[in-house]
Structure 1
Amino acid sequence: MSIEANKALVERYYHELVSGQRVDLIEELIAEDAADETRVGPGGSGTREDFREHLRWLWENVQDVKATVEDLVAEDDRVIAFWRIEGVHVGPVFGVPATGRPFTGYSISTLTVQDGKVTRYNVLPDRLGIIQQLVPAVV
């Protein structure tokens, strides 16, 4: 696939799957033996079920979740996504119990795409930036 096709797939991943909660797209967008490194660790092997678990966790803990791709950089089979997440904190996130507070967070993800499907996913979220919005500062 071309770099532009890979970038379009990643855009769909965030817009239609994550934000749109279109779990029916998992088979179309994610390879059967894909590795969600948030679940299996860097370099680990996995399955689509790892992606389902990750998304279920997200949708259960962040109400009205919206993921917006701000920029994409791609080379060969890799796409780097700079993206923003917005939502309401209704379950445990990064060790913080539900607060009911809205938040905005920024992340950088690396997605590997082969034969038109994501085969590997890793994300580096700004955990501190999110936690600072969820937990009021103690003065």
Structure 2
Amino acid sequence: MSEINKAVARRFYEEVVSQGKLEVLDDIIADDGRDSATPAGGELGGGKAGFVEHITWLRENVEGVTATVTDLVAEDDRVVVYWTIDGIQRGEIFGAPNSGRHFNGVSISTIRFRDGRIVEYSVLPDRLGIVQQLTAV
């Protein structure tokens, strides 16, 4: 099951985040899935809506966003994903106003699965590193 979960995690970043294929969420998110990384802090609750909100916000605020998985570690029902984000800022990100600057950053996500579908998603981005790139004089 760990290999299936890793493949689903990779698909989330490659197809949903980088390519904007929101329809893929129907295949990979459990009905009670929860994205705690939505801009409103996961206020939409479970299901696909929170993931749609998160990805829509990201793609509206980061032009040409690309997420690249650099490593996956899986055990039991969890996958830890090490990944990078790359793009051009087009909206407020982590409190930094639009600068139009290119940035890249490193993030670590934890994804919990049930029956090959995502039930819980959380991410820890390098906020300081990204904000420094966006606000540097």
User: TM-score of the superposition, structure 2-length normalised?
Assistant: 0.93
In structure 2, the CA distance between the partners of 1:59 and 1:26, relative to structure 1 (3 Å rule), is same
1:88-115 superposed Cα distances (whole Å, 9 cap, x missing partner): 0000100111111000010000001111
- 1:19 aligned residue: 18
Q: Whole-Å Cα distance in 2 between the matches of residues 90 and 28 of structure 1?
A: 29
Q: Whole-Å Cα distance in 1 between the matches of residues 37 and 136 of structure 2?
A: 27
- 2:127 aligned residue: 127
- 1:76 aligned residue: 76
1:56-115 superposed Cα distances (whole Å, 9 cap, x missing partner): 110000000000000000100100000000000000100111111000010000001111
Q: What's the secondary structure of 1:5's corresponding residue?
A: helix
Using the TM superposition, give the Cα deviation of residue 45 of structure 1 relative to its aligned residue in structure 2, in angstroms.
Answer: 5.0
AA matched with 2:130: I
Q: Whole-Å Cα distance in 2 between the matches of residues 110 and 49 of structure 1?
A: 19
- 2:3 aligned residue: 4
- 1:65 aligned residue: 65
Q: Whole-Å Cα distance in 1 between the matches of residues 31 and 52 of structure 2?
A: 12
Q: Whole-Å Cα distance in 1 between the matches of residues 111 and 136 of structure 2?
A: 33
Pairs within 5 Å for 1:31-110: 31-39=30-38, 46-110=46-110
Superposition misfits of 4+ residues, deviation over 3 angstroms: 39-42
Using the TM superposition, give the Cα deviation of residue 47 of structure 1 relative to its aligned residue in structure 2, in angstroms.
Answer: 2.1
Unaligned runs of 5+ in 1: none
AA matched with 1:135: T
Aligned residue pairs: how many? 135
Q: Whole-Å Cα distance in 2 between the matches of residues 38 and 10 of structure 1?
A: 15
User: TM-score of the superposition, structure 1-length normalised?
Assistant: 0.92
RMSD: 1.6
Unaligned runs of 5+ in 2: none
Q: Whole-Å Cα distance in 2 between the matches of residues 47 and 22 of structure 1?
A: 16
AA matched with 1:35: R
Q: Whole-Å Cα distance in 2 between the matches of residues 135 and 41 of structure 1?
A: 24
